[in-house]
Amino acid sequence: MRRYTAGGRFGLYQLTVALALAAATAAVVPVSSVAAETPPKVTVIGDSVSEAIVLDDAAPSTLAQGIDLVLQLAPCRRVAQTSCPYNGSRAPTVLQLIESLGPELAGATVIVAVGYNDFEQEYAQNIEDALDGLRGAGVEHVLWVTLRAERHSYLAMNDMIRAAATRHPEMTVVDWNLYSRSHPDWFQEDGLHLNWAGARAMSKLFRAALADLGIVRERTRPAQALTAPVAKLPVGKAGRPYAARLVARGGTAPYRWVGGAGVVPNGLHLSPTGRLTGRPAVRGRFSFVVRVTDGANSTVARRIVVQIA
């Protein structure tokens, strides 16, 4: 059993060895908060695909920020039919977990990421049975995760997930199949089970889905003011190609540069992207003003000096 404790920030990590047989087949990760406010309860029920979340410390750390999180993850889990065997045991099904957790789910949000071991013909009804059970347990929000469509049957099962969401307002589809489509680098050789990058990506997607529903609030860093630090520009030579780049920081991209008062060396041109290029025609020390404007219409002016030898 891996236990995580998190207040507003992810904090204590403890690893204990459980001797119970169930610990060999299921990863259960409760996360409690010590904050003054009671954090929202979120339970993730998954199979061996989402189980990768607990194999990378950064993944549950990201997901657990500011919530009371329990990860119920086990290989070979099914929604309703008896789970397939793994290491001599069978994980509780989603329906069995709902029944055993009972009052612990009241007022909670539940993310269901189960289906890779299920039967296509039974899956639509299994979803309905699980939603009935979750509703009876007092669950407020159900987020159901689509399957990575490495098999044709998973495409049909994803359609069943979407169809159920149209009938049940408490259900939200989390489209892992679409989110992961262009990222084969997130997966092991079978194209389904995750590596560390996939585990972090799945946690990030779950977190975004919770934020979209207003269950969690993401902290945003205050915007930095627009600045245009002027580095020492290279010395040019008359008649030779010249290239330098002006840099803006902070503010809101994109940035747009323009020249202002002063004397720009004949033959040089300042582009809107901040590149000063061309072939200077004469020698001398040239001083002129440049201005950069960001996407929020903030403007900073700087005087720069270009030496042409």
CB atoms within 10 A of CB 211: 12
Q: Is 219 domain-assigned?
A: no
Q: Report residue 231's pLDDT band, with 50, 70 and 90 as the boundaries.
A: low
| Residue 171, domain member (yes or no) | yes
Which of 119, 125, 167 has the alpha carbon at shortest distance from 142?
167
The rounded distance, in Å, linking the Cα atoms of 215 and 207 is 9
**Same-domain check for residues 184 and 54:** yes
Residues 154 and 281 both lie in one domain? no
Asked if residue 190 and residue 131 are part of one domain, the reply reads yes
Assess whether 34 and 125 both reside in one domain.
yes
* Domains: count for the chain: 2
Tell me if 229 is assigned to some domain: no
Poorest-confidence range of 128-132, 221-225, 297-301?
221-225
pLDDT at 10: 30
One-letter amino acid identity for 296? A
Query: Do 85 and 200 have their domain in common?
Result: yes
CATH of the domain at 109: 3.40.50.1110
Round the average pLDDT of the chain to a whole number and report it. 83
Q: Is the pLDDT of residue 6 over 50?
A: no
Tell whether 173 and 301 lie within a shared domain: no
Is 105 a residue whose pLDDT tops 50? Answer: yes
Length of the chain in terms of residues written: 309
Domain annotation covers residue 88: yes
**Both 144 and 288 in a single domain?**
no
Residue-level pLDDT at 56 = 78
pLDDT of residue 141 exceeding 60: yes
Q: What type of residue is 207? A: R
- Domain of 252 in residue numbering reads as 242-308
| 30 part of a folded domain | yes
Quick one: pLDDT band at residue 261, thresholds 50, 70, 90?
confident
- Residue, of 110 and 58, whose pLDDT is higher: 110
Task: Tell whether 170 and 36 lie within a shared domain.
Answer: yes
Q: Which residue type occupies 298?
A: S
Residue 26 clears pLDDT 50, i.e. is over it: no
pLDDT of residue 220: 53
pLDDT at 219: 60
- Chain position carrying tokens 């008649």: 239
pLDDT at 192 over 60: yes
172 in the same domain as 46: yes
**83 within 8 A of 115, measured Cβ to Cβ:** no
Are 258 and 121 part of one and the same domain? no
Q: Is 72 helix (H, G, I), strand (E, B) or coil?
A: strand
